[in-house]
Amino acid sequence: MSERLAALVVACFPAAALVRAEPELRGCPLLVCRTEQREGAGRVLPHAKVIAISRQAARAGARIGATVAQNLDINFNLVVRPADSRAEASARDALLDVAASISPRLEAIDGTNTAEVLIDLGGTQRHFDSEGGLLAALAQRAHRCGFEVGVAIADGRATARLAGHLAVVRTEALVVPHAGAAAWLAPHPIEILRPLLPAEKRDEKALWEMFQRLGLLRVGDLLRLPIDQIATRLGPAAAFLRRVAAGEDESRLRPGRPRTTFVESALLEYPVDSLEALLFVARGLVDRLCTRLEARAFTTRELGLEFGLSGRAQASRRLAAASPSRLSRNWIRLLRNLLEANPLEAAVEELTITARPEPLRAGQLDLFLPAGPAPAALGEVLARVATLCGEHGIGRPTAPLDHRPDSWQLLPFVAESGNALGGAQVSRDGITLPWVLARPLALRALRPPRAVEVGFDRGQLAWVRAPTFGGRVVVASGPWRIETAWWTEQPCRRDYFDIQLSDGGTYRLFEERSRGDWFVDGQYD
């Protein structure tokens, strides 16, 4: 039984890759030609051969294989661009990301002028109402990644490819009925079978002229001939097309695996030495990266940037967020802050951005805590805060392995599930309550500790006076004495007290016994 496969086909792929990299070219009559290289940039010459054209250029009379000058003679309004191998490589990876959002079993077929991806639909139908709904989802995701694709579903590898190519021509999604490949193909012109042949056989005139002489104009005409006679008289290529036309293709999907590193690059037409102009270019690259991450249900906490500078110099930078994020505007803010603090030494001619993906992590809800922000939303907020505080200015404070009571250090922030907090138990009056219901006191530490004046009555604390608070001591507990680091040049000898004043506030004080000075260490909330 043949596999049920979906096909994504992008025609005139070099032009489609440029349109994806430069969205302003969408809708323009675009010519793509091979170039002569000079110091990393492409130079378009009048005699360069055109290798791809957009649909609008074809309507304007442009021809693949003609020179740039010949096409401009036909229509002077044609837009000429050099082929960009970096844009094509990123576009192929992005097309695989679109396919991988449906199924991990896929095969990439690279042609000279097209890009095709076949997707095994086994086990995916339950996620969609119908095969038409699956094709609509594929087309929508491809459009978000910058592609106009032909999408189709059929039995078998060969029929799916043919339906995908036909979907490009018709600009509509096609669904070939199950076990109905022969009947579906029969009324179509025999030329529809051309993409299935190897590159050296595809344009072989003898085969197609023989079909014309024999009156084989449609696929159904080929089906009426016996397979043994076709193999003997017309050769193995014709026999292969006969088997495909009958739906007897037995070739299996050769699955590959999309890359796990996301890369987008741009070769600038002119060197850029302005921060705003560079951010404009970077924004397009980051937008495309974030769209690809979203298609694969990934996020990232780090971007690597490689700059090609004037004079063949190179520079690299690293952007790290406090929490994973795939919101492009947050990464652009981080990049602006980074380049303002560490400007580049020369104008930029080339920019490559690499993202290392991480899977999205779901947060576990809690019975006793309100629903918190989604992990992705929390990462976006932390990324915004990081743009203000810097990469090393955000984290979670923790107490190190030290004897000093006020020692602390900042560790990278790691979002924890609500269970760690909601599961805590506190006993009060013999009743065990969740932490959120017990509501214990929290000490708001004052750093650095503030000096205060204290008074005594019969050896007990009687009053406290400070610039922002003061009053008579109503309740006092203590002292709790610590004496540590006595083996160092700055030993720590303190007596701690918890007090409640007549103004209603509750504070923690300590006496520095080596000097006799008093300080307020924090206030209880």
Query: What pLDDT was estimated at residue 146?
Result: 92
What gap in Å lies between CA 434 and CA 427, rounded to an integer?
Answer: 9
- AA letter at 524: Y
Sole residue written with tokens 């013999």: 430
Q: Which fold has domain 262-359?
A: Dna Ligase; domain 1 (3.30.1490)
Per-residue tokens: 498: 């918890």
- AA letter at 95: L
Domain boundaries along the sequence of the chain? 4-70+82-245, 262-359, 395-440, 443-524
Query: What pLDDT was estimated at residue 352?
Result: 95
DSSP, collapsed to helix, strand or coil, labels residue 492 as: strand
Please say whether the dihedral angle defined by the alpha carbons of residues 431, 437, 440 and 441, taken in this order, is positive or negative: negative
What gap in Å lies between CA 368 and CA 306, rounded to an integer?
Answer: 47
Asked if 413 and 396 touch (Cβ cutoff 8 Å), the reply is: yes
How many other β-carbons are positioned within 10 Å of the β-carbon of residue 509? 25
What gap in Å lies between CA 77 and CA 60, rounded to an integer?
Answer: 9
- AA letter at 316: S
Query: What pLDDT was estimated at residue 447?
Result: 84
Asked if 151 and 141 touch (Cβ cutoff 8 Å), the reply is: no
Residue 480 phi/psi, 5-degree rounding, is: -110, 110
Query: What pLDDT was estimated at residue 437?
Result: 45
Kindly report whether the peptide bond that precedes residue 448 is cis, defined as omega within 30 degrees of 0.
yes
Contact partners, residue 203, CB within 8 Å, separation at least 6: none
The model's pLDDT over 17-49, given as tens digits with 9 standing for 90+, comes to: 999 999 899 999 999 997 755 444 456 778 888
What gap in Å lies between CA 309 and CA 351, rounded to an integer?
Answer: 9
Nearest to 241, CA basis, from 209, 215, 211, 213: 211
Per-residue burial over 231-259, b = 16 or more CB atoms within 10 Å of its CB, e = otherwise: beebeebbbbbbebbbbebeeebeeeebe
What gap in Å lies between CA 110 and CA 57, rounded to an integer?
Answer: 23
Please say whether the dihedral angle defined by the alpha carbons of residues 242, 244, 249 and 255, taken in this order, is positive or negative: positive
Per-residue tokens: 129: 């109402």
Nearest to 5, CA basis, from 215, 312, 346, 253: 253
Sole residue written with tokens 């219901």: 437
Contact partners, residue 358, CB within 8 Å, separation at least 6: 298, 299, 300, 301, 324
Q: Which helix (H) or strand (E) holds 86?
A: helix 85-100
What gap in Å lies between CA 480 and CA 421, rounded to an integer?
Answer: 29
DSSP, collapsed to helix, strand or coil, labels residue 165 as: helix
Strands (E), 342-419: 348-359, 396-398, 409-411
Residues β-bridged to residue 298: 359
Asked if 349 and 267 touch (Cβ cutoff 8 Å), the reply is: yes
Asked if 99 and 117 touch (Cβ cutoff 8 Å), the reply is: yes
What gap in Å lies between CA 35 and CA 152, rounded to an integer?
Answer: 35
Per-residue tokens: 285: 């690259």
Nearest to 467, CA basis, from 511, 508, 515, 520: 520
Asked if 142 and 20 touch (Cβ cutoff 8 Å), the reply is: no
Q: CA dihedral defined by 368, 374, 379, 380, rounded to 10 degrees?
A: -130
How many other β-carbons are positioned within 10 Å of the β-carbon of residue 476? 16
Query: What pLDDT was estimated at residue 424?
Result: 44
What gap in Å lies between CA 332 and CA 319, rounded to an integer?
Answer: 10
Nearest to 507, CA basis, from 498, 494, 495: 498
How many other β-carbons are positioned within 10 Å of the β-carbon of residue 335? 22
Length of the chain: 525
Within the chain, which residues score under 70 in pLDDT?
Answer: 1-2, 36-43, 200, 203, 362-364, 372-380, 383-384, 387, 390-391, 413-440
